[in-house]
């Protein structure tokens, strides 16, 4: 009996919650404007979920301003999850091209159906949004400060690789600060440590200088490694003339065999990366081989090309053991 009463009550609640008429509601035609305490928006769609998506999209457009990262404008695209039920307090995740923002405490204060069209009104307290944005800013600053603090105890190349791309962190911070500015134009802008981290990443990168120790027979493999380092704008220097921060040693073992008319070359390469104090930072082993019907020289060149292909296949830094 209780289950039946509950079902009847739920049915009545839904009918009352989303009224059906043939007229577009006045509150949609003349919506309540956003005020000092709340963000308010309306939306319409062919279903209740779609109407809520439109309302949430309109709600977020009031928050988002054009975010500029690395001198380029980023257009923020809203992709709202609108599967929650009407008049229910929820947390909505707003996915954008550069970040994800959590809007806490969004409510759908009104809903009405007119013919085949649904209309809704969405509200969220500005204080709730500010609190979430401030929490995000604090978190991003914490991540940046952690990396800055650990630099002294971390190998520079390892640290640089971990922080080489701060674009996501940078755009996430920029979007939060942009929205905070829109909500609190008179309040002081929170501290932003991302530029400091970005500057330190550039400074560390410029200090990395690698010398490659290889035998003359390994010149093709040395050339391949040099090309990769140059691609990442890492300086390759001559140890006899310049200071270096790292030494990459190619410890090779060449094996040759002649079967019938085939010249076969196999090379076992132990890649050892050391810092300026001669401490091992990373190491890895790569085995490459090739054959030729002409000579061992051609087979050796083929094995060197196979080595280069394996660098690409394994991802260069992983191939070095990093």
Q: Which of 68-77, 147-156, 200-209 has the lowest mean pLDDT?
A: 68-77
What pLDDT score does 180 carry? 81
- Model confidence over 165-220: pLDDT tens digits? 998 898 888 888 877 877 776 567 789 999 999 999 999 999 999 999 999 999 99
DSSP SS3 for 229? helix
Beta-bridged to residue 102, according to DSSP, are: 93
Q: What average pLDDT does the segment 108-137 reach?
A: 90
Query: Residue 236 has which token pair?
Result: 């390759």
- Which segment of 118-127, 158-167, 185-194, 242-251 scores lowest on mean pLDDT? 185-194
- Which residues is 113 bridged to in the sheet? 20, 118
| pLDDT value of residue 239 | 74
Answer whether 244's CB lies under 8 Å from 283's CB: no
DSSP for residue 31: P
pLDDT-based confidence at residue 157 (cuts at 50, 70, 90): very high
**pLDDT for 20:** 63
User: Which sign does the torsion angle of CA 11, 41, 129, 77 carry?
Assistant: positive
Query: What value does the mean pLDDT of the chain take?
Result: 81
d(CA 272, CA 282): 6
Q: What pLDDT, on the 0 to 100 scale, is given for residue 282?
A: 97
User: Which conformational region is residue 260 in: left (phi greater than 0), alpha (psi within -120 to 50 degrees), or beta?
Assistant: left
pLDDT band at 56 (very low <50, low <70, confident <90, very high): confident
The H or E element that residue 263 is part of is strand 262-275
Residue 284 pLDDT grade (very low, low, confident, very high; cuts 50, 70, 90): very high
Q: What is the pLDDT of residue 69?
A: 28
Q: Which residue from 157, 142, 192 is spatially nearest to 282, judged by alpha carbons?
A: 157
Q: Which of 11-15, 96-100, 148-152, 258-262 has the highest mean pLDDT?
A: 148-152
pLDDT at residue 36, rounded to an integer: 80
DSSP letter for each residue of 160-225: HHHHS--HHHHHHHHHHHHHHHHH-TTSPPPP--HHHHHHHHHHHHHH-EEEEE--GGGHHHHHHH
pLDDT (0 to 100) of residue 82: 35
Domain boundaries, given as residue ranges, for the chain: 15-125, 132-206, 208-319
Say whether 227 sits in a helix, a strand or coil: helix
Highest mean pLDDT among 52-66, 67-81, 152-166, 238-252: 152-166
* Architecture in CATH for domain 208-319: 2-Layer Sandwich (3.30)
Burial class (CB in 10 A: 0-12, 13-18, 19+), 27: middle
**What pairs with residue 42 in β-bridges?**
121
Residue 296 pLDDT greater than 80, yes or no: yes
User: Average pLDDT of 214-233?
Assistant: 95
Contact in structure between 109 and 132 (CB atoms under 8 Å) = no
CA-CA distance, 301 to 266, in Å (whole number)? 11
**Residue-level pLDDT at 186:** 59
Distance CA 163, CA 148 (A): 10
Give the residue among 255, 253, 249 at the shortest CA–CA distance from 222: 249
């Amino acid at each position: 009996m209780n289950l039946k009463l509950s079902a009847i009550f739920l049915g009545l609640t839904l009918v009352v919650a989303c009224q059906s008429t043939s007229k577009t509601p006045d509150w949609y035609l003349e919506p309540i404007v956003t005020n000092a305490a709340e963000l308010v928006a309306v939306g319409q769609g062919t279903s209740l979920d779609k109407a809520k998506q439109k309302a949430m999209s309109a709600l977020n457009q009031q928050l988002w301003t054009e975010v500029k990262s690395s001198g380029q404008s980023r257009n923020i695209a809203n992709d709202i999850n609108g599967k929650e039920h009407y008049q229910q307090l929820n947390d909505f995740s707003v996915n954008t091209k550069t970040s994800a923002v959590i809007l806490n405490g969004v409510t759908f204060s009104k809903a009405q159906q007119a013919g085949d069209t649904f209309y809704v009104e969405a509200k969220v307290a500005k204080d709730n949004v500010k609190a979430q944005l401030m929490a995000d800013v604090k978190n991003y600053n914490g991540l940046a400060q952690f990396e800055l603090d650990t630099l002294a105890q971390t190998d520079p190349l390892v640290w640089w690789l971990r922080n080489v791309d701060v674009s996501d962190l940078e755009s996430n911070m920029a979007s939060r600060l942009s929205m905070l500015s829109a909500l609190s134009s008179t309040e002081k802008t929170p501290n932003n440590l991302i530029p400091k981290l970005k500057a330190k990443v550039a400074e560390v990168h410029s200090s990395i200088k690698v010398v490659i120790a290889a035998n003359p027979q390994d010149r093709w493999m040395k050339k391949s490694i040099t090309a990769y380092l140059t691609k990442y704008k890492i300086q390759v220097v001559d140890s006899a003339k310049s200071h270096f921060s790292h030494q990459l040693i190619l410890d090779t073992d060449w094996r040759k065999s002649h079967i019938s008319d085939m010249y076969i070359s196999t090379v076992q390469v132990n890649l050892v990366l050391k810092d300026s104090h001669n401490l091992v930072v990373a190491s890895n082993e790569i085995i490459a081989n090739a054959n030729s019907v002409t000579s061992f020289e051609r087979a050796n060149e083929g094995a060197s090309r196979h080595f280069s292909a394996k660098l690409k296949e394994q991802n260069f830094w992983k191939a070095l053991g990093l």
